[in-house]
Structure 1
């Protein structure tokens, strides 16, 4: 995804309009039924303009997902840096993520799909995984999360369980904040006696 700070203001505005329109069209029509023409019309731009910024519908979906991930650090970074209780933060981060997933089920399925799940080394861009890693590091420093494992690896364990639970919830019903808190608790406490 292109860094918005490196774009001229007009290009940045066009991209933001396109991504806003993409999110709305995907919510209303679903990913499969959505057409780039509908996204362009919703954005008040031409189809050609959309394709000048994004190569395909898949690229649009990936950009909306990346934008949502990039919004996590400004939301939770201050709480992490101020040392709030890590387990509460992890539950809040994932509860908020589940709300986005239920509001954007087609995009969530794409974001949570195994081929797109994060790796042990987080991307350079801000992301949900990066915030979870920071919250886990905070928990390690607070003594509530084991310190003998790398925070990046622990984030994969937590996010892997969360992703599977979220994918299942999208097919049946909303997971809810109690379900997310349960996942965090089980991951932290483990499944052993």
Structure 2
């Protein structure tokens, strides 16, 4: 009969395993973001993480799976940020113009400049040769906002036949324009008054269409 030691890890071994896995993900994220998928080797990741190549293969199987794991981890962190901002800003009973403006402004000033968001953009758009996540796997934040827009529609706050399309319009009018301005070298920072003006104007246009 198999012993407990043979069939399960002790807490100490589990903790060491999780620590190594986190170190590997940290190293891989940094190298994939700075060097790109093709130029980043498993050897380089192992050296940076201070583990053996065998340990990386034991945890992740291959470089592509490791890259996917990095994307999922960074994406999950961004999703958690968006969920928190939705819960704190798009609250029931709050003036909708004020709520939508505060929501978009927090994303522009907190999520966009964050290391997680910068890394995610580099990993998903800068390196064209990198493997992609399955279609729809990176849309969790949008789905959260769709759910909140559907709830706003149910409460009579907005007129929405298709929450997904409404989210696309809201993003285009506010967040994407703000992101373009932040990407422009002439824009100083997320605190630039231009960003606030872009978002305020976008919310005005959105509510004229959906109220």
TM-score (norm 1): 0.61
CA distance in 2, matches of 1:31, 1:180: 36
Structure of larger gyration radius: 2
Decide whether the 8 Å contact of 1:95 with 1:180 is kept in 2. Answer: no
Deviation readout 1:8-43 (Å, 9 max, x if unpaired):
544432222111111121233233321111111111
Matched, 1:81 2:87: yes
SS in 2 for 1:71: helix
- CA 1:86 to 1:166, structure 2 compared with 1: closer, same or farther past 3 Å? closer
Deviations 1:110-133 (A, max 9, x none): 6999x65864xxx6x994334433
Shift in alpha-carbon separation, 1:43–1:74, aligned structure 2, 3 A: same
In structure 2, C-alpha distance between the alignment counterparts of 1:185 and 1:67, rounded to whole Å: 34
Q: Is the 8 A contact 2:21 2:59 kept in 1?
A: yes
1:107, CA displacement in angstroms? Answer: 0.7
Which of 37, 44, 47 aligns to 2:50? It is: 44
- 1:155 corresponding residue in structure 2: 167
User: Which piece of structure 1 moves more, 20-29 or 176-185?
Assistant: 176-185
User: Which residue, out of 73, 88, 93, partners 2:107?
Assistant: 93
Query: How many angstroms apart in 2 are the aligned matches of 1:185 and 1:163?
Result: 13
Which structure 1 segments of 5+ residues have no match?
A: 1-7
Q: Counterpart of 1:3? A: none
Q: CA RMSD in A?
A: 4.5
Q: 1:21 to 1:160 in 2, by over 3 A?
A: farther
User: 2:125 aligns to what?
Assistant: 109
Runs of 5+ consecutive residues of structure 2 not aligned to the other structure: 1-13
Q: TM-score, normalised by structure 2?
A: 0.57
> Mapping of 1:1-193 within 5 angstroms?
8-82=14-88, 83=91, 85-99=99-113, 100-103=116-119, 105-109=121-125, 119=136, 127-134=140-147, 136-137=149-150, 140=153, 143=157, 146-156=158-168, 177=190, 178=194, 182=198, 186=202, 189=205
